[in-house]
Amino acid sequence: MDANAQWSKLAVELGFQLKREIRPFVELPSLHKMAERAMKKGDLKNAERLLKNPMITKLMSSNFIGSATGLYGGYEFAVFRSTHSGTPSPNPAYYINIVLLFKEKCRLGLEIQKNDIFSKIKKAIGLGSYVKIAENHMLNEKVSIKANLKDQARKLLSNKLLQDKLLNLYLFSNTFEISDRDIRYSERGEIIDKDKAIKIMDMMVEAAKNFPVKG
């Protein structure tokens, strides 16, 4: 079974649709390094221009099979394959991406990702807009949290249930990334098993439920 058939099968198994559309804030950040840099700067216009660039279009079309997109647990998900290569390659390194889209933006300037040596040093000397979770040493060791609105972020992260769900994510994998818009997961590979995808999506849904939604 070739890659296109495998991804079509996975989409059906998840109850999703396999779509060729590349959305700037969903698939694009994971599909190309230049696009990723544009997205991290929040430059939507630049990201959209990248989609229209013939060279980028040709590169992405050769590697982008489609995005299995649909609703699961009340949230919109996208599951797709990407390459992190910045230039065309006959043997690219593929990654599986799972993206949960929040129902509403958090609007905190939030960035949650794995803790590494650089973030530990910056936090220790007080550089950057890092937020510490009071009385949760294990989570503070696992993740680095940045926010433009630090007080509001601290209030959000004081939720013990949210802390537990975040810890569940990062104990499973250090590749999760959380922003105002979404929760993202990635792993090396060309296809993911349905059962594993659902396990990861379940954990993402449980975390997302504890992020604010206006009622």
How many Å apart are CA 215 and CA 209, to the nearest integer? 13
DSSP state letters, the chain: --HHHHHHHHHHHHT-EEE----TTTTHHHH-HHHHHHHHTT-HHHHHHHHH-HHHHHHHHHH---EEEEEETTEEEEEEEEE--SS--SSPPEEEEEEEEPSS---S--EEEE--HHHHHHHHHT-SSB---TT-HHHHHHEEEE-SSHHHHHHHHT-HHHHHHHHHHHHH-TT-EEESSEEEEEEESS---HHHHHHHHHHHHHHHTTS----
pLDDT tens digit sequence for 16-73: 999 998 888 888 788 766 566 666 666 766 766 766 777 666 666 667 899 999 999 9
pLDDT of residue 15: 98
Burial environment of residue 54 by CB neighbours within 10 A (0 to 12, 13 to 18, 19 or more) = exposed
- Look at 77 and 93; give whichever has higher pLDDT: 77
pLDDT of residue 28: 79
How many Å apart are CA 75 and CA 206, to the nearest integer? 11
How many Å apart are CA 16 and CA 79, to the nearest integer? 9
Is residue 87 scored above 90 in pLDDT?
no
Mean pLDDT score of the chain: 85
pLDDT of residue 132: 82
How many Å apart are CA 81 and CA 61, to the nearest integer? 12
Is residue 194 scored above 70 in pLDDT?
yes
Percent of the chain with pLDDT over 70: 77
Q: Which of 99-103, 107-111, 203-207 has the lowest mean pLDDT?
A: 107-111
pLDDT of residue 24: 80
How many Å apart are CA 11 and CA 66, to the nearest integer? 10
pLDDT of residue 212: 80
Q: What is the pTM of this model?
A: 0.87
Is residue 215 scored above 50 in pLDDT?
no
